[in-house]
Each structure stands twice: as C-alpha cells, then as structure tokens.
C-alpha cells in the first residue's frame, strides 16, 4: 500500500452527529462514490465517483480528525460513510490505521459489498453495514448489484469480535413484505452473536430534493412504511432472539 | 423571625396582576418630572460642588415625585420614574439608515406626548435648560468631533450610564443609618476637600432613600387605614417594614427585598432617564442569608421573588433593559455556591416568564447535576426565556490575570448581556466604544472611501494600486485599525468626560465611594477599585474570512484580483461568478486550520491593540466581542467584502461564524470556537448556539437538562482535552426555525426579545 501522505480521499460532506452513526458524538465524513444505485438514496450527490467534493490527503484528514478529539464525548469518534466509503479503499484503510494509532474510535457505514472489506476489521471499533434485501435477485433489481458479496462479508464480520450493527432501510414495495422479513430473520439468526444488533430504518424522502437538484428523477412512489409495520418487523426479530435497536 | 404575608399562591397571583398592570402603562413621565425638579431647585444648589449639588437635587426630586402603591403590590417601589419609552437601538430617534439620533441626548424629550398636564411648553423649557448643561455641551462636541467616523459606524462611542453592578449587601445587612454615621466620621476627619465633599454628597444622597421610604410608609399607612382584611394586614406590614428598612439592617427576606428595591429605585432615578443595564449581581447569594434566617420554603421564597422580578419590568414594553440577574457559581476553592434561593429564583423566573431581568447562570466543573436538571425546563419549553451561561472556571482565571484580586473573584457578575464586572467595585464603562472591523476592512480596500456613500472617510495608509493593496492587505488593515482606534479612544474618553458632569453620589456609595471619597464617574480620581472602558468589537469572522479569501484568490486566480475591486464596488452585480468563488473559499467555523487560525490571529492582534488604548484614568480599554444585535446595524454600514458578503448584509454575531458559513454544524463550530484566545477577551464576548431539540432524547426536561450539560456545556466549557483557556459564555436556543414560527403564530411573545433577534 502506498504511503498515507501520497493518498487522497474525496468527501462531499462532513459534520458531527450524535449516536446515529456509531456510539457517542461522531465526526462523520461522507466519501464520494457508490457502486449501488438505490433509488431511495438520501445522498445522491455523492453517488458518482467524480461527483463534486473536496479532496485532501489522508495525513491531513487524519490530523483534522484527531484534532477534533475534544468533541468525541460519550464514546464518540470518527465515522466514514458515503456514498460508499469502501470505494476509496486504500486511502480509507490508511486513514483508519492512522486514526487507530492515535486512539480515535473508528466506525464505517457501508453497503458491505466490497470484496476486501474484512481487511478493514482490525482498524474498526464498530462496523455498521446495510443489508437491503435477503433475496439476491430482488437485491440486484433494486440496487443494481448482487447481495452475495454482502452476505459473504457480513458472515466474516460476524465471525470476528467486531461490534456489528446491521441496518435495513425498510421500504414499502421493496422489502417490507413477509417473505423479506422471513429472509432477514433467517440470515440474521444465522450470523447472530453477542455484539450484533439489527435496526430497521423506515423509508423517508430526505433525499428527494437532492435528486431533483442533481437533475435526476426521483422514482420512488408510495414507499413509506407505517410505524406499525416497522414495529412488526422489530418484534419478529426480537422474538427470533435478535438484539433490535433504534438509534 | 419569619416575616411573611399571605400564602405563596396569593402573593404569586398578586405578582401576576401587578405585571399586567405594569404592561398597561403607556406613559412614562417620571424622568421628566425629575429633571424638571432638578431645574426648579438648581438655584438652591448653585453654590455647591457638583457631587453635593447632585445629591441635594436628588433629595428634592425624591421629596416631590408622585408616589403610588398598587393594590397588587406587596413591596413599595418602582423603576418607572427613571425610564423613558425608548431604549438603545429601538429609540425612535435612532435611524439605522443615517446612524443618527442616538447621539442626541435631548431626543428623549420627544418620547413624551404632551398633554394638558405636561405641556409642550414645559417639555421645551426643560429640554432647553438641559441643552445648556455642561453635560450636553460636552457630549455634543464629542459627537461632533467624531462624526466623520461615527456617521458610517467605523466606530461609535457613547456616554455610559447604568452598566454596573452595585453592591447592596452592606445596606441590606447594616442599614443606611450606619453608613451615614460612618460617613459623618469621615467627613469630620477628612483633610482633602474633594474627598470631604464626596463624603458629604454621599451622605446627603443616602438621605434620599430615607425620604423615599418615609413617604412610602406614610402612603402604605394611609392605604391601610381604608383597607380591610388581608390587604390591610399586608399594608400594615409594608408600612412597618418601610419604617425600618433601608434605614436599619434587614432581618427577613421580606425586609431585604424591600430594602433592595428602594436602593435600586433611587440608584436608577439618580441617572434618569434610561440608566440601562444595571445588574443585580449574584442574587441568590444576596438573598439567601435572609431566606435561611426566615426558614422560608422554596415556594414562599419564589413568591416574594416574583414581585422583585416584576419590579424590573417597566411599563408596556419593559423599557428598562439588559438588567442581569445571576445565580449559581463557585467559590475560590471550587466549591459550589448554589443554594435554595437559586432554585427559588429559577421557579420565579419560570413561572413568570418576564422579559426582564435577564437570567444568567454561572457554571463550573463542580456544578451539581440538580442545577442542570432544573435548568432543563428553560431550554426545552418553547417560548420560555433561556438563561445565558457563564464559565466560572475560565472567568476566575481571566479576571485574575487582568488584575482582579483573588478575594473579589467570586463576586464577579454580569452587567448587560455578557460583560463580567466585580460587584460594587468595578466601573467597566462597558459600552463606551464600538468598533467595526468590517468597515475598516472596506475602507482599507477602497483607499478610505466608503462604498456605501462614496464619502472620503480617510485612511492611514498611502494609496497603492489595488493588487498591491490586496498583497499587503493585513498589514494595511492593521495600520488603519491603529489609526481609527486612536480616534475612537479620543472620542470615547470625550463621552466619559461628558457624563462626568453628572455625578452619581448615591450609586457611588455602593461602588466603593465610601472608601475612596470619589464619585464613580470622576475622570480625574478613581472612585472604584477597578476601572476600564469597554470596546465592543464587530466583524471578527467576516474579516478573517475575507483575508483567507484574498489569499486564495491571489494564489489560485490571480487574473481575477483586479476584477475584485470592481466587483466590490458593484456589490457583485455582474460578478456573480467571482462571488461564488469567494464564497467557496474556506470559512471560519468549520474546524479548518486556515480560516480558524486567521480568526485566532485576528482576535489576538485586535485584542492587543484595543487593550493598549487608555481611558480617562489611564486604564486599559477592555476587549469585548459582544454585538448585542448591533451586528445587524453595523453591517448595514459595511460595503461588499472579499469573503463574498454583500453590501449592507449583517456582520457575524459576536465571535460566531458568519450565518450560514458553519456548514459542518455545531460540533465543528464548537471546535473552531474553542481555538479563540478567550484569555484576551477581558470585557466579554457573545456567542449563540441554535440547537435542534431532537438532539436531546430524555423523557422530561430534567433528563434533557442533564443531556444538555453533557453534550453542550461540558464539551465547550469543561473539556479535559482543551489545550488553552476554555470559552466562558454561551447563549442557547434549543429550537428550530419552524418552532419559532409556530410560537410567533400562536401569539406568544418570546421572553427575551433582544437575544432572540440576535439569534
């Protein structure tokens, strides 16, 4: 791997968030580029790898993140998300190494599709991974890619002792039917272990305006999920012995 | 011995009715009657030295002023006669468009609508008499001499009235007669005639409050004679109390509050009209000994304090503003000083939710969780006033470094909105001068010519081609700043000299005059232990961002450097592309080294330059990055700047980033803020956080108050990773724009109007 000072990362947004992107108060960087094309994405501005962003070398970024230490209260730290942060894999890994060396708590939010994802595990304090659909075909239909790499990576993560938060964007007409629920439960039960949590995030349209600003058509329709339906999913998972959380 | 009237519920109901009555008052003639009385008795006092003359005239006015006691009052006293229906920037005679009107001290006469009793002829007579006074002549000359700079708000200056924190504690404890006896001894032994005269004046002025107490006692007795039942008992107690205090020491909370109110009333009247921003100081510590002696419950205490809070509200718009009351804090050893009166005061504030006085809270690393929990209701109730927060741990250090004796540190309190002063010992002359860094940058970029009016205001650097100007912008800016500061120093001291023509012997008794023998406004002898003059500095982040933008432009797009001159003159019309580029350059408030370092360097250098100015007594000016809504009015006079800010847009508030520039949110903003050199801000500063309520998830306001402590206060004020002095001030609104719109649409008037505007 090249020297950190020679590598750069491009991000399109940064800021603090409390508890929703990992434990405590976290500095969240949204890295450019994504390999999926989910039509409900709330950050479409960062989808294209060459989308508008700010590029900085990894060492400078690490230095800025380390200097933000006074705000990492209640177990907080840095979260890298996207887009899909693993698309800038090598600089991301270099950054995580520098942060861990400096004692900064690290977390990534990922769609878990990158084949080298397990390489990052030693440098993470928390892994937050999406699992959008248990059915490979439907996963491909909605996101443009297969879910097999995701399943492989999540099994690997579950086999490690890394705190693992699984997230499901719950979307009407996409993955809120009983068959999907059964698929989620079957897979989550298979990889379940202490330190693994499941969270269902109800569909929202915070991204709609951004799609339109990008000149892109927002194609999702009638996708909201009722609180009752979401609670039903949560209850079913709990009954299956899973640790369900809401952040 | 417990002195108490009626039940807490009855006293509370009376306080609410009293406030309603007060808000129905839309004429304020008392200040005029006072001035007219001064004029009428001037001949009698003509031969006296100025301080003694002031004391005699004060007594005469107190003999003559019409008095009343409302049927809802449990205490006697009002501030009403000291205030006109105008204040500061909302003074009807002040026009932002011309930045004029504020300078005319006789404009206040226009605030009274003539009627059959107070005719135009009476008003004109006193106005004209005032115009001939040394005070107005000196002040008019001061403004005239500095008009070249103040007309477009390069800086502004004012004569400071109010704006101190009297120490009423000795009077509450021992009574006025004891002070008078001590003054008699000093008068007999003092060889220095100026000091002897000062002591005589102070003694005479103290007679004034006894006159007032006596007249109120007579009135209460007379009203008691025709009253019945509970009201009769209330009035009889009131009359008995007024016969005792403030002449003698108070022995109960009821007596202490009554004594305090009368002292306050006379202190304000002495400076009528409009002595803004007198502050109570550490109110919980002042009253707690009396509550404890009475053994009063929290409810009983809160009920009486509600009447004290109503006292601070004058007429239909609570015209007496920026009166600050502070609770909490620590002692020299770090032990917490919160007491039962602190909590009772919070109850009184929350229940009454009045526009005045401003509530401030002192915090420190050992502040008990209970205080944070009890503050939760203020932050998480829409439409409720929210307190300003001060960090004792930092302020103790700053004040000590600036010459405050250790023993005095716990006695610091806050005058106005943000300015820390030592209770009873500190004349900070806090709002004496106002500096506009944005305007100075504009003038530096344009060879001393205003972009707003085209007027040649002047420059202290030689004219050079625009590009050269940009290449040496910082250096030229600081040379100009030094030149304007010298002018400001002169003008500010001239205003202080003007106000020294209006001595304040009564206030001086509570500001160290009993020791010094000098009036606290004396410009030749220092009457208070601590003295300085304030300078409120505007435009920190705007100027820092402008410096950074110029650097980027010169290095990245040097071909556009010359276009910038035309763009600024055109307010970017036709140069939108250039403006977009300027706006895209790094801005302070996002935890980015370049702009943050620039802001730190600018703050440090400006602070050092302001501190090197000397006031009328040779004491340093105090650095105050407060902009009490004036970032709007001062911005109105600043043309377009290289950070991309358009002409007449507001400047940044206090030490905050320019609105909209902190793109990374509150966390990154906090980190940027923490870098500033707070140890140099010895006069105070302003900063505001608007926080989304969804950041807090506790099930009730108490839990949310504790979350607020952990997630907002502790990281900012008490951060173990902070590498230099932590911030010491914060004002917070836990709200969203949507919530504010909802509150306004619902017809509820937010309590703290001035701060809400600033927010």
DSSP string, B186-222: HHHH---HHHHHHHHHHHHHHHHHHHHHHHHHHHHHH
Domain residue ranges in chain B: 8-81+161-323, 433-657
Q: What is the pLDDT of residues B473-527, one digit of tens each?
A: 999 999 999 999 999 999 999 999 999 999 999 999 999 999 999 999 999 999 9
Structure tokens at B428: 């900070």
Closest CA to B326 of B275, B281, B289, B286: B281
- Using the predicted structure, report yes or no on whether residue B754 has a pLDDT greater than 80: no
**pLDDT value, residue A48:** 85
The strand ranges marked E within A145-218 are 164-170, 196-202
Pairwise CB contact (< 8 Å): A64 & B592: yes
Separation between Cα atoms, residue B259 and residue B514, nearest integer Å = 19
Q: Which residues of A touch B719 (CB under 8 A)?
A: 70
For residue A66, the tally of other CB atoms under 10 A from its CB is 16
Pairwise CB contact (< 8 Å): A16 & B668: yes
Q: What is the pLDDT of residues B253-286, one digit of tens each?
A: 999 999 999 999 999 999 999 998 999 999 999 9
Q: Which residues of A touch B711 (CB under 8 A)?
A: 18, 25, 73-74
Q: To the nearest whole angstrom, how far is the Cα of A203 from the nearest Cα of chain B?
A: 19
Helix, strand, or coil here: B625?
A: strand
**pLDDT value, residue B744:** 67
| DSSP per-residue letters across B533-549 | EEEEEE-HHHHHHHHHH
Nearest by CB to B671, which of A70, A73, A74?
Answer: A70
Pairwise CB contact (< 8 Å): A71 & B667: yes
Mean pLDDT across the stretch B372-386? 93
The percent of residues in chain B predicted with pLDDT above 70, rounded, is: 96
Closest residue of A to B723, CA-based?
A70
Nearest by CB to A16, which of B667, B674, B719?
Answer: B667
CB B76 within 8 A of CB B216: yes
Mean pLDDT across the stretch B10-37? 97
Q: To the nearest whole angstrom, how far is the Cα of B727 from the nearest Cα of chain A?
A: 13
Q: What is the pLDDT of residues A69-105, one digit of tens each?
A: 999 999 999 999 999 999 999 999 999 999 999 999 9
Pairwise CB contact (< 8 Å): A64 & B593: yes
**pLDDT value, residue B586:** 95
- Using the predicted structure, report yes or no on whether residue B759 has a pLDDT greater than 50: no
Separation between Cα atoms, residue B495 and residue B139, nearest integer Å = 6
CB B83 within 8 A of CB B314: yes
- Using the predicted structure, report yes or no on whether residue B94 has a pLDDT greater than 80: no
Chain B contact residues (CB < 8 Å to A): 591-593, 663-668, 670-671, 674, 695, 710-711, 714-715, 719, 721-722
Mean pLDDT across the stretch B710-731? 96
**pLDDT value, residue B92:** 64
Q: Which residues of A touch B707 (CB under 8 A)?
A: none
Pairwise CB contact (< 8 Å): B663 & A15: yes
Domain residue ranges in chain A: 8-239
Separation between Cα atoms, residue B312 and residue B300, nearest integer Å = 20
Q: To the nearest whole angstrom, how far is the Cα of B707 from the nearest Cα of chain A?
A: 11
Q: Is the pTM of this model over 0.90?
A: yes
Question: Does the domain made of A8-239 have the CATH classification 3.20.20.70?
Answer: yes
Determine which of A29, A57, A67, A70 to mutate to test the interface with B (most B C-beta atoms within 10 Å).
A70
CB B433 within 8 A of CB B621: yes
- Using the predicted structure, report yes or no on whether residue B91 has a pLDDT greater than 70: no
Tokens 């009107």 identify what position?
A: B101
| DSSP per-residue letters across B379-415 | HSSTT----EEEEHHHHHHHHHHTT--GGGGGGEEEE
Nearest by CB to B715, which of A15, A27, A71?
Answer: A71
**pLDDT value, residue B750:** 47
Separation between Cα atoms, residue B215 and residue B644, nearest integer Å = 62
Q: Which residues of A touch B663 (CB under 8 A)?
A: 15
Lowest mean pLDDT among A66-70, A205-209, B198-202, B593-597: A205-209
- Using the predicted structure, report yes or no on whether residue B546 has a pLDDT greater than 70: yes
Closest residue of B to A17, CA-based?
B667
Pairwise CB contact (< 8 Å): B668 & A74: no
The percent of residues in chain B predicted with pLDDT above 90, rounded, is: 89
Q: Which residues of B touch A73 (CB under 8 A)?
A: 710-711, 714-715
For residue B192, the tally of other CB atoms under 10 A from its CB is 12
Over chain B, what is the mean pLDDT?
A: 94
Separation between Cα atoms, residue B281 and residue B289, nearest integer Å = 15
| DSSP per-residue letters across B9-39 | HHHHHHHHHHHHHHHT-----HHHHHHHHHH
Q: What are phi and psi of B503, to 5 degrees?
A: -65, 155
**pLDDT value, residue B2:** 67
Q: What is the pLDDT of residues B298-314, one digit of tens each?
A: 999 999 999 999 999 99
Q: What is the pLDDT of residues B425-440, one digit of tens each?
A: 999 999 999 999 999 9
Closest residue of A to B589, CA-based?
A15
**pLDDT value, residue B558:** 96
**pLDDT value, residue B755:** 43
Lowest mean pLDDT among B319-323, B641-645, B681-685: B319-323
> What pLDDT band is residue B380 in, cutting at 50, 70 and 90?
very high
Closest CA to A66 of A41, A91, A96: A96
Separation between Cα atoms, residue B674 and residue B724, nearest integer Å = 8
Q: Which residues of A touch B704 (CB under 8 A)?
A: none
How far, rounded to the nearest angstrom, does the alpha carbon of residue B231 sit from its chain's CA centroid? 37
Q: Which residues of A touch B670 (CB under 8 A)?
A: 71
The parts of chain A modelled with pLDDT lower than 50 are none
Mean pLDDT across the stretch B24-47? 97
């Amino acid at each position: 791997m090249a020297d950190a000072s020679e590598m750069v990362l491009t991000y399109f947004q940064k800021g603090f968030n409390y508890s929703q992107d990992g434990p405590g108060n976290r500095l969240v960087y949204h890295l450019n580029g994504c390999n999926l094309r989910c039509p409900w994405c709330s950050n479409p501005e960062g989808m294209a790898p060459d989308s508008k962003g700010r590029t900085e070398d990894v060492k400078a970024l690490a230095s800025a993140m380390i200097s933000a230490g006074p705000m990492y209260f209640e177990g907080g730290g840095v979260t890298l998300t996207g887009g899909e942060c693993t698309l800038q894999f090598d600089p991301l890994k270099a950054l995580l190494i520098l942060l861990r060396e400096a004692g900064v708590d690290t977390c990534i939010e990922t769609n878990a599709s990158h084949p080298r994802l397990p390489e990052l595990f030693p440098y993470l304090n928390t892994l937050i991974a999406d699992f959008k659909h248990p059915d490979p075909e439907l996963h491909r239909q909605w996101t443009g890619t297969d879910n097999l790499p995701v399943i492989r990576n999540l099994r690997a993560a579950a086999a490690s002792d890394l705190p693992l938060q699984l997230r499901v964007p719950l979307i009407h007409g996409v993955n809120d039917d009983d068959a999907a629920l059964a698929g989620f439960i079957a897979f989550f039960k298979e990889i379940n272990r202490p330190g693994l949590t499941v969270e269902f995030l109800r569909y929202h349209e915070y991204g709609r305006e951004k799609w339109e600003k990008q000149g892109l058509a927002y194609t999702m329709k009638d996708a909201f999920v009722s609180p009752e339906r979401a609670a039903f999913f949560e209850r079913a998972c709990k009954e299956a012995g899973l640790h369900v959380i809401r952040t | 011995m417990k002195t108490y009237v009626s039940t807490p519920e009855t006293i509370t109901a009376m306080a609410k009715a009293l406030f309603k009555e007060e808000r129905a008052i839309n004429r304020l003639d008392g200040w005029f009657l006072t001035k007219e009385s001064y004029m009428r008795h001037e001949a009698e006092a003509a031969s006296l030295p100025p301080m003694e003359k002031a004391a005699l005239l004060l007594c005469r006015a107190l003999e003559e002023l019409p008095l009343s006691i409302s049927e809802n009052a449990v205490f006697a006293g009002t501030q009403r006669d000291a205030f006109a229906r105008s204040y500061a920037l909302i003074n009807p005679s002040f026009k932002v468009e011309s930045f004029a009107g504020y300078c005319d001290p006789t404009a206040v006469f226009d605030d009274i609508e003539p009627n059959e009793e107070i005719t135009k002829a009476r008003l004109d007579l006193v106005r004209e008499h005032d115009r001939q006074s040394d005070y107005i002549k000196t002040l008019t000359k001061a403004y005239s001499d500095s008009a070249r700079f103040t007309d477009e708000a390069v800086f502004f200056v004012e004569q400071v009235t109010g704006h101190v924190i009297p120490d009423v504690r000795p009077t509450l404890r021992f009574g006025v007669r004891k002070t008078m006896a001590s003054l008699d001894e000093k008068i007999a032994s003092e060889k220095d005639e100026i000091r002897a005269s000062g002591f005589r004046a102070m003694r005479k002025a103290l007679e004034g409050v006894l006159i007032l107490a006596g007249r109120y006692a007579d009135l209460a007795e007379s009203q008691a004679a025709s009253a019945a039942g509970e009201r009769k008992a209330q009035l009889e107690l009131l009359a008995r109390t007024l016969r005792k205090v403030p002449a003698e020491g108070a022995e109960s909370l009821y007596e202490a509050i009554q004594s305090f109110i009368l002292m306050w009333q006379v202190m304000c009247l002495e400076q009528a009209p409009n002595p803004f921003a007198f502050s109570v100081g550490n109110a919980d510590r002042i009253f707690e000994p009396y509550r404890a002696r009475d053994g009063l419950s929290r409810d009983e205490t809160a009920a009486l304090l509600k009447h004290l809070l109503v006292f601070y509200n004058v007429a239909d718009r609570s015209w007496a503003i920026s009166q600050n009351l502070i609770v909490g804090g620590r002692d020299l050893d770090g032990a917490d000083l919160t007491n039962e009166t602190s909590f009772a005061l919070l109850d009184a504030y929350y229940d009454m939710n009045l526009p005045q006085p401003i509530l401030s809270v002192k915090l420190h690393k050992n502040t008990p969780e209970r205080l944070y929990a009890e503050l939760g209701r203020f932050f998480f109730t829409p439409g409720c006033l929210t307190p300003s927060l001060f960090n004792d741990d930092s302020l103790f250090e700053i004040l000590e470094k600036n010459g405050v004796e250790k023993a005095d540190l716990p006695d610091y309190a806050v005058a106005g909105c943000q300015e820390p002063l030592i209770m009873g010992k500190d004349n900070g002359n806090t709002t004496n001068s106002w500096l506009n860094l944005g305007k100075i940058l504009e003038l530096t970029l344009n060879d001393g010519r205003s972009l707003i009016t085209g007027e040649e205001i002047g420059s202290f650097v030689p004219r050079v081609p625009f590009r050269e100007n940009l290449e040496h912008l910082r250096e030229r800016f600081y040379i100009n700043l030094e030149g304007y500061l010298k002018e400001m120093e002169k003008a500010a001291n001239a205003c202080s000299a003007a106000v020294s023509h209006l001595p304040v012997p009564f206030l001086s008794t509570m500001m160290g005059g009993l020791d010094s023998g000098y009036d606290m406004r004396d410009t030749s002898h220092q009457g208070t232990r601590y003295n300085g003059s304030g300078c409120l500095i505007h435009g920190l982040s705007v100027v820092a961002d402008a410096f950074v933008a110029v650097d980027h432009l010169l290095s990245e797009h040097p071909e556009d450097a010359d276009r910038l001159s035309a763009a600024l003159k055109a307010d970017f019309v036709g140069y939108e592309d250039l403006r977009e580029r300027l706006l895209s350059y790094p801005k302070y408030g996002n935890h980015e080294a370049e702009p943050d370092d620039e802001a730190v360097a600018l703050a440090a250098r400006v602070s050092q330059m302001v501190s090197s100015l000397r006031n009328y007594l040779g004491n340093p000016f105090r650095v105050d990055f407060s902009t009490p809504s004036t970032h709007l009015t001062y911005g109105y006079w600043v043309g377009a700047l290289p950070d991309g800010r358009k002409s007449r847009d507001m400047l940044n508030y206090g030490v905050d980033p320019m609105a909209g520039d902190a793109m990374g949110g509150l966390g990154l903003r906090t980190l940027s803020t923490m870098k500033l050199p707070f140890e140099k801000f010895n006069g105070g500063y302003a900063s505001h956080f608007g926080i989304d309520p969804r950041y807090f998830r506790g099930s009730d306001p108490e839990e949310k108050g504790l979350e607020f402590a952990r997630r907002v206060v502790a990281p900012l004020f008490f951060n173990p990773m902070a590498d230099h002095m932590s911030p010491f001030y914060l004002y917070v609104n836990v709200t969203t724009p949507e919530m504010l719109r909802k509150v306004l649409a619902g017809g509820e008037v937010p309590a703290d109007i001035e701060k809400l505007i600033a927010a």
